[in-house]
């Protein structure tokens, strides 16, 4: 991909905008390939393909995007959710061994930004610089592995938009007209009269015309501008939707799109008079007009992929077409009608998938700056930590339905699945002095089972069942990710942690290992090895979801860096682990998932002295 455009970007973003590594990774390691194939056939309740169907061509990276975020206000938890979703899919592809790139960024032109800057008497560019920094900071705090943070004020993007306009005009798809209609400043778009309702403001009682879809106020506007002949593409759009029913997920949202195109499609007004909008990209050849912000914004996806500097037949090398756009449900129409129409107009490939997620509410009410009920994601990260915040968003977030944000629910789930789930499980395995994980792993791979005492039949049956569950884990998670269901994928992994904790509690290997009966010692070793394997597999699969904590888990188990790919998420695959690369810790407060500070305050009081004393109290181990 050409890098000429990068000269206009800041030094920090320039350093991040590097092409992904070209090294080839095997999806399944050679030593485990046979085991994985058998596991897939025998144990998968949700069949996964022998290799991911989404794997890109050798010279095309998997390309995923977030929406670019409007900078008229600070980021909220919904922005973080879009970022984290995209990040999980990017990291998942990397885990599979595929090259992948992720683009996120900010949408910086338009009337709302112009007005927001004017309200505080600030230059629009300086205003955008400050807010773009907030969004990029959120991406970094959220551990988003982005390859480019694009801004619509970037020079290469401005040039891409101007070139796109030129091509549309050359094809006769832009015409000048006097446009009149109902315009929403908040949504920055015109609405046909069939999509308007009378709306009453709840607090003031004022009645006004509003969009039926967003309830945003509209006003009648008459002005000269340019229009895009979108109605000429109506047939092509409907034909594409019919032939690609799974292009939008969830699938039911396709009905909304088809209905709009069939019943409400009009030519699209794609410029605004400079008297009304001066903060934006000027129409080439007509400085009295500013290009419509949504035309400007949507083109960012191909700007980041190298447009217009594509050599013939090589657009895919920059990632285009995108393999997945992640968008919120409020911008469905722009991405699934306007964007494909613009691409069709120039005979450019369409994105392969649009994943539309729902919104986050607070106390079952839609988050709104005017209501003051917006969750600040930076506060959430500072309070809970990045991986805990990611865990909550991913395990509770809504694709098809809205999700309600609740700190109390977050605390409950943290304790159940993280602190007393994987955190407790890792401590129970790696901290006791009565066994050594490395010895257990070596013994389990030694091949001496024939000469060892047999364990109780009932226990062997239980262990066989758990082995089946672990063999099924990676194929099931892969199947859910293939179906674009990260919520189901992470929940499957969390279930394993709960089941392995129950196995330890039921079998009590800390008692068995002290027994004089040789069969008990063998039983303890089998249980502990199965727990170690469960943690190893879970740690590998959790990497796209909880990158820092998964790395700490694998470090504590002593899993080598080159044995953390999806191909190693197979039972009995890695005989080399067991020597911790980091200290497993000794107290509740230095483990993988320590108690939340709220719990420390309740139990020990809030003073720093008491917290320090609490941190020095060893874990009370009833199972050692």
Is-contact 445 575, C-beta < 8 A?
yes
CA distances from 25 to 21, 22, 93, 160, 233 (A): 11, 9, 11, 34, 42
- Mean of per-residue pLDDT scores for the chain: 85
Q: What DSSP letter does each residue of 521-563 carry, written as one string? A: HHHHHHHHHHHHHHHHHHHHHHTTTSHHHHHHHHHHHT--GGG
pLDDT at 250: 95
Reduced to 3 states, what is the DSSP secondary structure of residue 369? coil
CATH number of the domain at 174-264, please? 2.170.220
Please tell me whether residue 441 adopts helix, strand or coil conformation: helix
Q: Would you state the pLDDT for residue 458?
A: 87
Q: What share of the chain is helix, strand, coil (3-state, %, to 5)?
A: 50, 15, 35
Mean pLDDT per 10-residue segment, the chain (624 residues):
34 33 37 41 34 57 97 93 98 97 97 93 96 97 98 98 98 89 70 75 71 74 90 98 96 96 95 94 97 97 97 91 97 97 98 96 77 86 95 92 92 94 96 95 81 82 93 98 95 95 93 89 94 98 98 98 98 96 89 78 46 39 32
Distances (CA, A) of 159 to 13, 429, 582: 19, 57, 49
Q: Reduced to 3 states, what is the DSSP secondary structure of residue 38?
A: helix
- The pTM assigned to this predicted structure is 0.84
| Distance (Å, whole) CA 430 – CA 621 | 12
Q: Are 437 and 584 a contacting pair, CB within 8 Å?
A: no
What are the structural domain ranges in the chain? 4-170+295-389, 174-264, 408-615
Q: Counting Cβ atoms within 10 Å, is residue 352 exposed (0-12), middle (13-18) or buried (19+)?
A: middle
pLDDT at residue number 475? 98
The reply to whether CATH 3.40.50.620 applies to domain 4-170+295-389 is: yes
- Report the C-alpha gap between 574 and 564 in whole angstroms: 10
How far apart are the C-alpha atoms of 69 and 107, rounded to whole Å? Answer: 5
SS3 151: strand
Return the pLDDT at 1. 37
H runs (alpha helix) in 11-106? 11-16, 33-43, 77-96
* pLDDT tens digits, 433-447: 999 999 999 999 987
- The pLDDT value recorded for residue 480 is 97
Instruction: Give pLDDT, residue 599.
Output: 56
Residue 297: the pLDDT is 98
Q: Which residues contact 144 (CB under 8 A, 6 or more apart)?
A: 83, 84, 86, 87, 102, 104
Distance CA 504, CA 487 (A): 27
* pLDDT for res 192: 75
What is the C-alpha to C-alpha distance for residues 598 and 383, in angstroms, rounded to an integer? 10
Tracing tokens 């000794």 back to the chain, one arrives at 586
Q: How far is residue 182's CA from residue 205's CA, in Å, rounded to a whole number?
A: 21
Bond before 546 cis per omega within 30 degrees: no
Of 331, 319, 380, 379, give the one whose Cα is nearest residue 355: 331
- CA 474 vs. chain centroid, Å, equals 19
pLDDT at site 58: 75
Architecture of domain 408-615: Orthogonal Bundle (1.10)
The model's pLDDT over 90-149, given as tens digits with 9 standing for 90+, comes to 999 999 999 999 999 999 999 999 999 999 999 999 999 999 999 999 999 999 999 999
């Amino acid at each position: 991909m050409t890098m000429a455009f990068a000269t206009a970007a800041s030094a920090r973003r320039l350093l991040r905008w590097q092409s992904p590594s070209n090294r080839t990774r095997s999806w399944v390691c050679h030593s485990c390939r046979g085991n994985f194939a058998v596991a897939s056939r025998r144990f998968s309740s949700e069949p996964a393909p022998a290799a991911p169907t989404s794997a890109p061509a050798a010279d095309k990276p998997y390309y995923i995007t977030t929406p670019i975020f409007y900078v008229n206000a600070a980021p909220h938890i919904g922005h973080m959710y879009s970022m984290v979703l995209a990040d999980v899919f990017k990291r998942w592809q990397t885990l599979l061994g595929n090259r992948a790139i992720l683009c996120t960024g900010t949408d910086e032109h338009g009337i709302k930004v112009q007005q927001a800057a004017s309200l505080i008497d600030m230059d629009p560019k300086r205003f955008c610089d400050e807010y773009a920094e907030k969004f990029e900071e959120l991406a970094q705090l959220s551990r988003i592995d982005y390859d480019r943070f694009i801004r619509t004020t970037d020079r290469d993007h401005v040039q891409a938009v101007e070139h796109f306009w030129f091509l549309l005009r050359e094809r006769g798809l832009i015409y000048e007209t006097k446009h009149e209609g109902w315009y929403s400043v908040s949504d920055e778009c015109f609405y046909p009269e069939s999509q308007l309702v009378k709306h009453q403001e709840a607090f003031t009682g004022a009645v006004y015309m509003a969009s039926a879809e967003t309830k945003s106020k509209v006003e009648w506007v008459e002005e000269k501008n340019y229009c895009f002949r979108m109605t000429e593409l109506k047939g092509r759009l409907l034909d594409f939707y019919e032939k690609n029913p799974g292009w939008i997920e969830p699938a039911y949202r396709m009905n909304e799109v088809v209905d709009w195109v069939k019943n409400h499609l009009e030519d699209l007004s794609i410029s605004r008079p400079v008297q009304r909008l001066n903060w934006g990209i000027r129409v080439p050849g007509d400085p009295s007009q500013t290009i419509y912000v949504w035309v400007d914004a949507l083109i960012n996806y191909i700007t980041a992929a190298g447009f217009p500097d594509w050599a013939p037949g090589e657009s895919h090398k920059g990632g285009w077409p995108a393999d997945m756009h992640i968008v919120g449900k409020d911008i469905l129409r722009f991405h699934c009608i306007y964007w494909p129409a613009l691409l069709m107009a120039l005979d450019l490939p369409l994105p392969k998938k649009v994943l539309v997620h729902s919104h986050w509410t607070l106390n079952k009410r839609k988050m709104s700056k005017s209501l003051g009920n917006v969750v600040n994601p930076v506060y959430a990260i500072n309070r809970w930590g990045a991986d805990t915040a990611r865990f909550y968003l991913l395990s509770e977030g809504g694709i098809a339905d809205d999700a309600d944000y609740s700190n109390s629910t977050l605390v409950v789930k943290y304790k159940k699945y993280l602190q007393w789930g994987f955190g407790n499980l890792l401590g129970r395995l790696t901290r006791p002095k009565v066994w050594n994980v490395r010895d257990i792993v070596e013994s389990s791979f030694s091949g001496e089972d024939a000469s060892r005492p047999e364990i109780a039949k009932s226990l062997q049956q239980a262990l066989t069942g758990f082995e089946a569950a672990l063999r099924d884990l990676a194929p099931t998670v892969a199947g859910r990710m293939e179906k674009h269901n990260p919520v189901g994928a992470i929940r499957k992994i969390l279930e394993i942690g709960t089941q392995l904790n129950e196995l330890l509690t039921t079998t009590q290997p800390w008692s068995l290992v002290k027994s004089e009966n040789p069969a008990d010692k063998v039983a303890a070793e089998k249980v502990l090895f199965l727990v170690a394997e469960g943690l190893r597999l879970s740690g590998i699969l959790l990497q796209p979801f909880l990158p820092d904590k998964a790395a700490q888990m694998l470090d504590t188990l002593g899993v080598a860096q080159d044995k953390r790919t999806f191909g190693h998420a197979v039972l009995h695959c890695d005989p080399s682990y067991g020597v911790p690369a980091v200290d497993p810790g000794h107290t509740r407060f230095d483990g993988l998932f320590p108690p939340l500070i709220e719990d420390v305050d309740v139990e020990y009081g809030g003073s720093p002295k008491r917290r320090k004393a609490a941190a020095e109290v060893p874990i009370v181990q009833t199972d050692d």
